[in-house]
Structure 1
Amino acid sequence: MSLGDEGQTRTRLPDAGGDVYGGARRGGRSSSRGLVTVVGVVVLLIAAIAFANRGGGDSSSAGQSSGKPGSSATAASGTKPVQSKTTGIPAGFAHDQQGAQSAAANYAVALGSADMFDKTRRDAILQAVITPSRLADFQSTLDQAYTPAFNKNVGLNADGSTPSGYTFVSRTSPVGTKVTASTANDATVEVWCSGLLGLAGTNSTTPVTNSWFTITMKLQWAGDDWKVVTQSQKAGPTPVPGDDKASTADDMAKAVNEYGGFTYAR
């Protein structure tokens, strides 16, 4: 229907179709869609909730900024990404603010990955990114968070494995970073992220959804690298949802398996 110049509005009728992905559109208002979104946010927040305000972190420092960042706040610096990895996670960041931002971005990716739902892989991730003095607390807290009941709530089996015929998606993509406080050996970094979460499959009741959030990490220079001391998370900033037609379950699963992640460098 074409629109005139006298204030007409266009009404979009809901699409029909059996594939939960095929007819869905972003920003759907059904109660089930809203529930899926809430579940997605919960999973992406779970690590942050466990980490927040622990270890004597200075919560006030996160809000202290030297001023509004310019348009080049996260522009490429020309510094090459790190060349080494620990447990598959980038390591060996520069001992400066740029290095802290790169570390925070890469750690956000690791802590928001599907590997966090597997006890063995989760412990390896924590070993690689958490400061030694806080490691035991992180492991204990997350062991209590990633329970069989929680796994079932996000569509996984009780042991955290993916049901046969489905592809589990949990991926965090940093959009930008900024330092809000820093000293020679400490830095507080905010990472603005977009996240994907859900179970890709034709009959999935928890399809892959998108969310936006900002992670605040307090980092400490330890063992010749930046390590996480505390982490917190808040929702947004969130853009207005587009009118893009959601992909099919097969296309989503294929994309997740074929498109790898990045090593982030400031």
Structure 2
Amino acid sequence: MSLGDENDGGQTRTRLPDGGTGDVYGGARRPARNSRSLITVVGVVVLLIAAIAFANRSGTDGGTSDDTAKDPGAAAPTSATGVRPVTGKDGTIPTGYAHDEQGAQSAAANYAVALVSAEILKPDRRREIVRQLFVPDRVSALEVDFDKAYNKGFLDKVGLDANGNAAPGMTYVSRTAPVGTKVAELTSDTATVDVWCTGVFGTAGVGSTNPVTNDWFTMTLKLRWSGGDWKVESFSQKEGPAPVSADRTASDADEIAKAVAEFGGFTYAR
């Protein structure tokens, strides 16, 4: 589902049921392929050896890292630079970004996680997120737009109550992981950043008609320097780039719910 925004408004990820009842997690399982599994193991070992060799070489060359992309749109390395781009938090969302390209990328990555979280569907938490992330002159209009988009009818469709909570025995999942960032435009006080993401979305629980699945998408965030920090002016979303899905056996509902409860999220930075 998406949220319309007249000024390049946002969209947020929430997976709707494809139909069917029963334990869809059991039906999602695929048989293991021994030959492919062996190839995968060998491939992982080779990659690990290469990574260790590269790390050893990098640690002894005495050089310094440069995280700035030399060409527009080129991928920048994600190794540590020694610059701490996040100095504080507003609630659970990191704040205090550097007033430069690195700070804009860090802000965009963390804001993408917040905008596609399960928290955005909870009315009280949503208002906090909107006020924390967006420039002040966009807050009032976006609060109205978000409330209209995530009304009772919408929440009913995804199995949530009026407060954005799943039914007893169910766990609603919306967890995003940025894979990389790219600065499309940059001035002294504005930035447009593309954030390539993957994530898991859906409801874990026996009998769920909205199973937890994964997806790949790119969020574009237009940022403005406001009040001493990077804030969102508008955002949009598109599908992909998506790799070929691996031949893996799907976990059952209990394992997914347990993982969501036990594994915390990250603060993302360049």
TM category (shorter chain) comes to 0.7 to 0.9
| Residue of structure 2 in register with 1:69 after alignment | 74
**TM alignment of 1:214-233, pairs within 5 A:** 214-233=218-237
Distance 1:74 1:189, change over 3 A: farther
| Residue of structure 2 in register with 1:152 after alignment | 156
**TM alignment of 1:185-224, pairs within 5 A:** 185-224=189-228
**TM alignment of 1:1-266, pairs within 5 A:** 19-25=23-29, 67-70=72-75, 72-266=76-270
Distance 1:81 1:256, change over 3 A: farther
Question: CA–CA distance in 1 between the matches of 2:265 and 2:246?
Answer: 24
| Residues 131 and 220, structure 1, Cα contact 8 Å, conserved in 2 | yes
TM-score under structure 1 length normalisation: 0.75
Secondary structure (helix, strand or coil) at the match of 1:21 reads: helix
Number of paired residues? 210
What do you get for the CA RMSD once the two structures are aligned? Answer: 1.8
Distance 1:220 1:166, change over 3 A: same
Secondary structure (helix, strand or coil) at the match of 2:159 reads: coil
**Structure 1 unpaired stretches of 5+:** 1-17, 27-65
Distance 1:166 1:228, change over 3 A: same
- Amino acid in structure 2 at the alignment position of 1:192: W
| Residue of structure 2 in register with 1:36 after alignment | none
Question: CA–CA distance in 2 between the matches of 1:139 and 1:232?
Answer: 16
Question: CA–CA distance in 2 between the matches of 1:67 and 1:131?
Answer: 27
- Amino acid in structure 2 at the alignment position of 1:258: E
Secondary structure (helix, strand or coil) at the match of 2:183 reads: strand
- Amino acid in structure 2 at the alignment position of 1:69: A
Deviation at 1:81, TM superposition (A): 4.8
Deviation at 1:242, TM superposition (A): 1.2
Secondary structure (helix, strand or coil) at the match of 2:26 reads: coil
Deviation at 1:161, TM superposition (A): 1.9
- Amino acid in structure 2 at the alignment position of 1:24: A
Secondary structure (helix, strand or coil) at the match of 1:142 reads: helix
Q: Comparing 117-126 with 147-156, which one deviates more in the overlay?
A: 147-156
| Residues 194 and 220, structure 2, Cα contact 8 Å, conserved in 1 | yes
Question: CA–CA distance in 2 between the matches of 1:169 and 1:148?
Answer: 18
Identity %: 56
| Residues 180 and 195, structure 2, Cα contact 8 Å, conserved in 1 | yes
- Amino acid in structure 1 at the alignment position of 2:148: Q
- Amino acid in structure 1 at the alignment position of 2:72: G
